[in-house]
């Protein structure tokens, strides 16, 4: 006999990418930024230490909200909700919108966590396959009685492809429920959907500092949404979901626009180099707007390649999507890491 809800017992649980805590790896498996975060972080952390940790942090992280509203040209901080990583934001939204037996929709293949979140709620999830050109079929926007939430990663993972702003506006108009545009990787892309939040309350944009700001270790994400949406979501979040270090460092990070522009430029340049190198080695690579690429070799199986690289202390992500295919997702590292990776793959083929 078990005390757990049957939904919990039945599920496998989301397995995050490997995070080796020891050993020197070239780590290109979880889309971390290879560069150190904005230099202002250290001073922000020291300020928190000097102020002391005895007191609870600001439950709403208003310093960050105020700056984010300014940076993203939203009317006020009431359009921003902060979370302990964007996973916290996705969790809060799922709990707020999707009840037991209801329906959550997501594209396939995409971020596996969305399905786990539905499972924890005892909800159903509906995976809609991308078209061959990585657009979405019209059915992705079809209303359904039980449909309460739709997730759309943009750029998508593992493919790095994007759905256009026009298509997203149209989806939101057709859907009977909120559409969370998960922009974890949008800082590496050619466009984003932040301003669409003001056009339709169903469009909510989720963001993270883990990828584009080199702060995966910090756990800080946020949602941009209309104030009447944020107001209800606050009821679902833990009271003090962001700690004093995360609030201080995240606020400092998004003040540094020059760092962000420079980092973006470097990642995009290395991405081009990575794609060219992979293609030269005989890989088919999907054109990506994120800080990773999805690829398959024309002759060699993906899994042994992943394993051989791991044995050589280079970690990339092997993923196998039932009904679609398996393949390799490779994060964009530094130029040096990319050179090592490409040389190593060349020697293995």
Compare residues 24 and 73 and give the one whose CB is closer to a second copy.
24
Question: How would you label 132-160 residue by residue, b for 16+ Cβ within 10 Å and e otherwise?
Answer: eeeebeeebbeeeeebbbbbbbbbbbbbb
The count of residues interacting with a second copy (CB under 8 A) is: 78
- From the list 244, 295, 305, 345, which residue makes contact with a second copy (rule: CB under 8 A)? 244
Nearer to a second copy, 216 or 285 (CB): 216
Site for a second copy in 193-232 (CB under 8 A): 202, 210, 214-219, 229, 232
Site string for a second copy, 132-151 (x = CB under 8 A): ----------------x---
Q: Which is nearer to a second copy, 20 or 287 (CB)?
A: 20
- Comparing CB distances to a second copy, the nearer of 252 and 285 is 252
Q: Taking the complex as a whole, how short is the minimal distance between the CB of residue 301 and a second copy, in angstroms?
A: 28
Binds a second copy by CB under 8 A, chosen from 144, 165, 169, 240: 240
Integer Cα distance of 290 and 211 in angstroms: 10
Please give the residues from 96 up to 115 whose contact with a second copy meets the rule CB under 8 A: 96-100, 113
- Kindly tell me which residue out of 30, 126, 289, 296 binds a second copy, with binding defined by CB under 8 A: 30
How far apart are the C-alpha atoms of 21 and 345, rounded to whole Å? 24
Q: Which of residues 35-64 bind a second copy (CB under 8 A)?
A: 35-37, 41-42, 45, 48-49, 52-59, 62
Q: Which C-beta is closer to a second copy: that of 50 or that of 133? A: 50
Among 78, 95, 264, 326, binds a second copy (CB under 8 A): 95
For residue 83, which of 59, 53, 104, 99 has the smallest C-alpha distance? 59
Q: Find the binding residues for a second copy in span 60-79 (CB under 8 A).
A: 62
CB distance 83 to 222 below 8 Å: yes
> Can you spell out the DSSP letters for 264-283?
HHHHHHHHHHHHHHHHHTTE
Question: Which CB atom, from 246 or from 275, has the smaller least distance to a second copy?
Answer: 246
Rg (CA), the chain: 20
Residues 300-339 that bind a second copy (CB under 8 A): none
Q: Which of 19, 139, 280, 284 binds a second copy (CB under 8 A)?
A: 19
- Cα distance between residue 305 and residue 288, in whole Å: 21
Buried b (16+ CB within 10 A) or exposed e, 256-266: beebbeebeeb
Backbone angles phi, psi at 237, to 5 degrees: -75, 155
Say if residues 178 and 93 touch (Cβ distance below 8 Å): yes
């Amino acid at each position: 006999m078990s005390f757990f809800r049957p939904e919990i017992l039945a599920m496998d649980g989301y397995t995050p990418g490997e995070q080796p805590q020891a050993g020197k790896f070239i780590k290109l498996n979880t889309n971390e930024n290879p560069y150190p975060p904005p230099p202002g972080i250290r001073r922000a952390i020291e300020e928190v230490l000097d102020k002391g940790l005895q007191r609870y942090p600001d439950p709403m992280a208003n310093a960050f909200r105020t700056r984010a509203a300014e940076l993203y040209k939203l009317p006020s901080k009431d359009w921003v909700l902060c979370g302990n990583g964007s996973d916290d934001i996705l969790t809060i939204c799922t709990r707020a919108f999707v009840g037991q037996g209801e329906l959550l929709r997501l594209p396939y293949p995409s971020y596996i966590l969305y399905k786990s979140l539905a499972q924890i709620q005892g909800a159903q999830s509906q995976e809609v396959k991308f078209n061959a050109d990585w657009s979405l079929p019209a059915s992705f926007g079809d209303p359904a009685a039980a449909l309460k939430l739709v997730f759309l990663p943009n750029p998508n993972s593992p493919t790095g492809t994007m759905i256009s702003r026009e298509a997203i506006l149209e989806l939101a108009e057709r859907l009977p429920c909120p559409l969370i545009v998960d922009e974890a990787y949008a800082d590496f892309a050619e466009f984003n959907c932040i301003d669409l939040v003001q056009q339709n309350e169903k469009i909510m944009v989720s963001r993270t500092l883990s990828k584009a700001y080199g702060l995966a270790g910090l756990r800080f994400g946020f949602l941009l949404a209309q104030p009447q949406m944020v107001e209800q979501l606050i009821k679902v979040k833990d009271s003090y979901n962001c700690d004093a270090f995360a609030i201080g460092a995240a606020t400092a990070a998004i003040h540094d626009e020059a760092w962000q522009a420079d980092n973006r430029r470097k990642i995009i340049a290395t991405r081009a180099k990575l794609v060219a190198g992979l293609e030269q080695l005989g890989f088919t690579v999907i054109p990506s707007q994120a800080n990773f690429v999805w690829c398959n070799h024309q002759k060699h199986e993906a899994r042994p390649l992943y394993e051989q690289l791991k044995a050589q202390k280079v970690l990339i992500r092997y993923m196998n999507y039932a009904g679609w295919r398996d393949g390799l997702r490779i994060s964009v590292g530094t130029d040096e890491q990319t050179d090592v990776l490409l040389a190593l793959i060349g020697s293995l083929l």
